[in-house]
Amino acid sequence: MHVTKAIDSSPLTKKYWVFAWSVATATVFEYFDLFIVGYVIVLIAPQWALTFGQTAAILTASGVGAILGALVAGWAAAKFGRKPVLCASLFICSSATCLMAATPVGAWYVLAGLRFIVGAAVPALHLAAITLLVEMTPARKRTTLSSLMSVALVPLGGFLAALAGANSAILGWQGLCLLGGTALLMVPVMIMTVPESPQWLMSKQRRSDAEKVLGLLTGGPVQLSPIESSESEARKEPFLAALASDPARALLIALTWFGISTVTYGLVLWGPTLIRLVLDTTPSHAATLSLGASLAALSGRVLASVMAGRKGRRSTGVLFASAATIALIAAALFHRSTVGSIGLFFPIFIVAYLFADGGWANAGPMPSELFPTPLRSQAGAFAQILNALGKIVGPMILGLVAGSGDLITPKATLNALQPAFIILALFSGVVACSFLAIKRETHGRPLGDIENSPARRKLRAA
């Protein structure tokens, strides 16, 4: 039996759910470490008298680090396996976040350096998590579960960060950083509960190991057939050649990942500061309100996961990106408006965040679904690099519009809000148009079909 057919015909056993929930929990911990800096910045910016440029450097350092992290992780996951990358990235991210607590007062460059390390580890974990779940989930459930377990629960990390930020008056910024060390507790759990991908093991001609993993997951013996010739050819095929063989596939990943990343990271990293300034409230109260944004993101991702499993990734992508575009434009136009004594900015911000961030659950697994096993982690690295660029562009939009030479003041940030949100809306509109124009659907399609796609047959015949 071929490994893909063995997985597609297997039931979702207790072993599978333990593996899936372990991966999902790791993503929550990792993204707590990523999101906590937004609340740290709210506390230290006035204390350290940070300029707009220094604040932007701290917030965008993770995006720069993510580029290097994605490149290394894509290579490492293909050479050494998905599991080692998953465990190592979790350890590195948590350790770097803990070390942030030891940053000397005013040493923003040290904080930026540690954020660089955190940023490098996050895409490595996400790449490995998505690839594992795509490769080990039966096709009949893959669209929903790969989205739900590797992407949809990530906002819980943001929720926990917001919850910690709401108690920042007690914890202080050092306490917020030290909380990131809790992720270290997950490392031994991951080692014990997460198996290596049978797809990757077969691509490395380790058939007996793949059979053992499948036997544990399915609860019975599994006999796999020898590696097929198409898989051997795919292993020799350069990733850039695979991109060239189907440019539309590469363009879809590029436009959707970069667009969604630019919008969501612009909102999540500047969210607490924007809410504080627009509503003229305290940092702790702004963090409390941000809990609503985290819950909205969680709701959006769960909704997108379920919808994609029923309607497909393309339809879901168009709907979510279009709704986010409309909400972002509304936030730009009506951020100073009120209905009675209730301001409109925060409710509109929540709606925009729900649909913009919810789109990740739909788009996240696509790169791994669109490429064969030997190239899957490299496809994930390609997507994560685009994600990293979005992490830089999104937070920098406010800085570029407002001017990076000013201190963080209400005047500077509020002046940036309207044009910045219009720009974010344009990025979201590009995402909607990309799903609409590029007709690629992975929902319900067995991963084995990739090997026999028209583009790959044409490439092999050349």
Please name which of 21, 11, 169, 56 lies closest in space to residue 396, comparing C-alpha atoms.
Answer: 56
DSSP secondary structure letters along 8-32: HTS---HHHHHHHHHHHHHHHHHHH
Residue linked to tokens 């005013």: 106
Q: Please tell me the predicted confidence (pLDDT) of residue 405.
A: 45
CA distance 68 to 133: 23
DSSP reduced 3-state for 51: strand
pTM: predicted TM-score of the whole model, two decimal places: 0.84
CA distance 41 to 43: 5
Q: Give the tokens for residue 86.
A: 């998953």
8-21 burial, b at 16+ Cβ within 10 Å, e below that, comes to bebeeeebbeebbe
Please name which of 417, 103, 65 lies closest in space to residue 270, comparing C-alpha atoms.
Answer: 417
- Model pLDDT for residues 75-114, shown as the tens digit of each residue: 999 999 999 999 999 999 999 999 999 999 889 999 999 9
- Model pLDDT for residues 267-291, shown as the tens digit of each residue: 876 777 777 777 777 766 776 777 7
Query: Dihedral of CA 22/25/31/32: which sign?
Result: negative
Query: Which residues in the chain land under pLDDT 70?
Result: 227-237, 269, 283-284, 287, 340-341, 398-399, 401-415, 448, 450-462
Q: Please tell me the predicted confidence (pLDDT) of residue 341.
A: 65
Residues 6+ apart with CB under 8 A from 247: none
CATH 1.20.1250.20 holds for 3-461: yes
CB 199 within 8 Å of CB 24: no
CB 450 within 8 Å of CB 372: yes
Domain extents in the chain: 3-461
List the beta bridge partners of residue 342: 339
Q: Please tell me the predicted confidence (pLDDT) of residue 383.
A: 93
The pair phi, psi for residue 246, each rounded to 5°, is -150, 75
Please name which of 206, 224, 228 lies closest in space to residue 215, comparing C-alpha atoms.
Answer: 224
193-213 burial, b at 16+ Cβ within 10 Å, e below that, comes to bbbbbbbbbbbbebbebbbbb
CA distances to 243, 441, 447 from 444, rounded to whole Å, are: 22, 9, 9
